[in-house]
């Protein structure tokens, strides 16, 4: 995860006079409560704000990273963050548009709370006058009786308005329907904002624009109970080239935990983004300055084949989430796999992670290289494999294979080998243990 030194090196872009201006340029303002009032509040002095993260998985993902970096930007501008890990709401989960969630055990959720707390700590500073706080909504939820919850909180919510929320209405119109448990989620999130408003004078909640219905439940509750106003800032959804958001519910999550998405795979994800999307992603996911991003935008237009913006994006985000060392290891692995570096100097874990991203097979010493070419799909047949070797286009660990009858021998890299056809077609070989 991001190191303290990396975070300390980051500053808000001096090109901007105020944080609202920077957030807008970076495309981080999708929806908000009254823009003029919120902008004025951010300019008037330090305010306290929060974002909630539910432990419905063992790790945060790319969508959560958007919020963590917005929190970091606001903190760098002098505001005080609260990271809320939903030990209570994580037991329920906010409604998905398509189907009911599978409820996890209390023990599982508790273990995930600890993991998410550790991840959130990596992106915020807990020192100084605007040092961050970590809270768990289970602390104020578990001791409340159902009667108190219904009398003190539930009475302020109108069913008609709750039914109009996008996720709820989508579920009501589906075959799956919606349970009372998930229907009640927005009440719990509203109570969180009220609690932090009372305890910490927290006046701003941030989140994704797909959470707008849940976000407004808090401002509505504060207005009804306290007679005061609070603010919401919702970021636009970050989507892939097909318009799908990145997240576990979509099946394409990019996890922040290196055990779930390796640093190599993480680096490759950013390296392979489309030219049409790379500048927007640089704005959202990095602290690279406006002037530098504008220069990279010119390079994308003039020399897209150099992929300068993608390389900068991959380096910056991998360094931020994992470390500078992990980012460099991913770069070294990328170069070595394609014959531009020494495979032997790569650590075993990095090489293994890289090979798992490729077509791969598990085999024994003595296996035929021709057979492996066909088994991994690098060629269509064994005959095609022999022809490729004869033409000088096959490499094992970056060494040319010259014998059509060559086999996998003991000179491979420990338990791994890299099989390559031509310049860019790769496969991984794993030795049976």
pLDDT tens digits along 344-387: 888 888 999 999 999 999 999 999 999 999 999 999 999 999 99
Is there a single domain that holds both residue 223 and residue 284? Answer: no
What proportions of the chain, in percent to the nearest 5, are helix, strand and coil?
Answer: 50, 15, 35
CA-based max dimension of the chain? 82
- 377 domain-assigned: yes
pLDDT tens readout for residues 83-95: 999 999 999 988 8
Is there a single domain that holds both residue 12 and residue 68? Answer: yes
Is there a single domain that holds both residue 177 and residue 326? Answer: no
Confidence (pLDDT) at 16: 82
Confidence (pLDDT) at 9: 55
Share of the chain above pLDDT 90, in %: 78
Nearest to 194 by CA among 224, 218, 212, 213: 218
Asked whether 22 and 16 are in contact (CB, 8 A), the reply is yes
Is there a single domain that holds both residue 315 and residue 383? Answer: no
pLDDT band, very low/low/confident/very high, at 167 (cuts 50, 70, 90):
confident
Of 26-40, 106-120, 244-258, least confident by mean pLDDT is 244-258
- 136 domain-assigned: yes
For the whole prediction, is pTM greater than 0.85? Answer: yes
- Write out the residue range of the structural domain in which residue 286 sits: 262-345
Confidence (pLDDT) at 295: 98
Confidence (pLDDT) at 96: 81
Asked whether 67 and 51 are in contact (CB, 8 A), the reply is yes
Pick from 205, 238, 271: which residue ends a domain? 238
Is there a single domain that holds both residue 177 and residue 312? Answer: no
- Coil, strand or helix: which one is 81? strand
Cα Rg of the chain, angstroms: 25
- 243 domain-assigned: no
Pick from 314, 345, 376: which residue ends a domain? 345
Tokens 């022999």 belong to which residue? 386
For residue 295, what is the domain's CATH number? 1.10.240.10
Asked whether 221 and 193 are in contact (CB, 8 A), the reply is yes
399-400 β-sheet, strand order: 360-363, 425-431, 416-421, 394-396, 399-400
Is there a single domain that holds both residue 282 and residue 208? Answer: no
- 77 domain-assigned: yes
Is there a single domain that holds both residue 89 and residue 195? Answer: yes
For the residues 241-247, what does the mean pLDDT come to? Answer: 70
Is there a single domain that holds both residue 340 and residue 387? Answer: no
- 324 domain-assigned: yes
Would you state the torsion angle of the CA atoms of residues 405, 411, 415, 420, taken in this order, to the nearest 10 degrees? -50
Find residue 32's DSSP bridge partners. 233
Is there a single domain that holds both residue 151 and residue 283? Answer: no
Is there a single domain that holds both residue 340 and residue 416? Answer: no
Confidence (pLDDT) at 248: 55
- 248 domain-assigned: no
Top pLDDT among 85 and 7 is at: 85
- 249 domain-assigned: no
CB within 8 Å of 93: residues ≥ 6 apart: 54, 56, 101, 103, 182, 185
Is there a single domain that holds both residue 215 and residue 188? Answer: yes
- 246 domain-assigned: no
Confidence (pLDDT) at 1: 58
For residue 33, what is the domain's CATH number? 3.40.50.620
Spatial separation of the C-alpha atoms in residues 240 and 262, rounded to whole Å:
20
pLDDT tens readout for residues 197-232: 999 999 999 999 999 999 999 999 999 999 999 999
Nearest to 312 by CA among 320, 413, 325: 320
For the residues 313-318, what does the mean pLDDT come to? Answer: 98
| Tokens linked to 131 | 């040092």
pLDDT at 328 over 70: yes
Total domains present in the chain:
3
Spatial separation of the C-alpha atoms in residues 271 and 419, rounded to whole Å:
22
Round the average pLDDT of the chain to a whole number and report it: 92
Pick from 181, 206, 238: which residue ends a domain? 238
Spatial separation of the C-alpha atoms in residues 124 and 6, rounded to whole Å:
11
| Tokens linked to 378 | 């690098």
Is there a single domain that holds both residue 306 and residue 365? Answer: no
| Tokens linked to 141 | 């939820």
For the residues 305-334, what does the mean pLDDT come to? Answer: 96
């Amino acid at each position: 995860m991001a190191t303290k030194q990396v975070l300390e090196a980051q500053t808000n872009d001096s090109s901007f006079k105020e944080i609202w201006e920077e957030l807008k340029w970076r495309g981080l303002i999708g929806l908000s409560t009254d823009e003029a009032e919120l902008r004025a509040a951010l300019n008037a002095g330090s305010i306290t704000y929060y974002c909630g993260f539910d432990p419905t998985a063992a790790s945060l993902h790319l969508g959560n990273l958007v919020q963590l970096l917005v929190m970091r930007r606001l903190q760098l501008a002098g505001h005080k963050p609260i990271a809320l890990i939903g030990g209570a709401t994580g037991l329920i989960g906010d409604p998905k548009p398509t189907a009911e969630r599978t409820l996890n055990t209390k023990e599982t959720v508790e273990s995930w709370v600890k993991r998410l707390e550790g991840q959130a700590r990596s992106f915020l500073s807990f020192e100084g006058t605007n040092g961050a706080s970590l809270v768990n909504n289970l602390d104020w939820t578990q001791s409340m009786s159902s009667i108190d919850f219904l009398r003190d909180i539930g009475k302020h919510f109108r069913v008609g308005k709750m039914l109009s929320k996008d996720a709820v209405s989508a579920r009501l119109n589906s075959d799956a329907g919606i349970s009372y448990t998930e229907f009640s989620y927005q009440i719990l999130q509203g109570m969180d904002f009220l609690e932090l408003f009372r305890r910490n004078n927290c006046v701003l909640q941030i989140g994704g624009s797909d959470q707008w219905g849940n976000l407004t439940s808090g401002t509505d509750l504060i207005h009804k109970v306290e007679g005061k106003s609070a603010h919401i800032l919702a970021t636009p959804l970050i989507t892939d080239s097909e318009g799908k958001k990145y997240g576990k519910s979509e099946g394409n999550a990019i996890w922040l935990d290196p055990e779930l998405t390796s640093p190599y795979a993480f680096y490759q994800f950013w390296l392979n983004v489309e030219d049409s999307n790379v500048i927007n992603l640089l704005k959202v996911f990095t602290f690279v300055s406006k002037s530098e991003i504008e220069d990279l935008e010119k390079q994308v237009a003039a020399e897209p084949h150099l992929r300068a913006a993608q390389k900068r994006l991959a380096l910056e985000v991998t360094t931020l989430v994992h470390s500078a060392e992990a980012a460099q290891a991913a770069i070294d692995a990328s170069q070595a796999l394609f014959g531009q570096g020494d495979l032997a100097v790569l650590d075993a874990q990095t090489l293994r992670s890289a090979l798992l991203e490729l077509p791969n097979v598990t085999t024994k010493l003595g296996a035929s290289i021709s057979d492996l070419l066909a088994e991994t799909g690098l060629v269509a047949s064994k005959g095609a494999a022999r022809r490729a070797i004869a033409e000088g286009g096959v490499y094992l660990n970056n060494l040319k294979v010259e014998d059509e009858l060559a086999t996998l021998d003991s000179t491979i890299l420990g338990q791994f080998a890299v099989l390559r056809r031509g310049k860019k077609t790769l496969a991984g070989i794993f030795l049976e243990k």
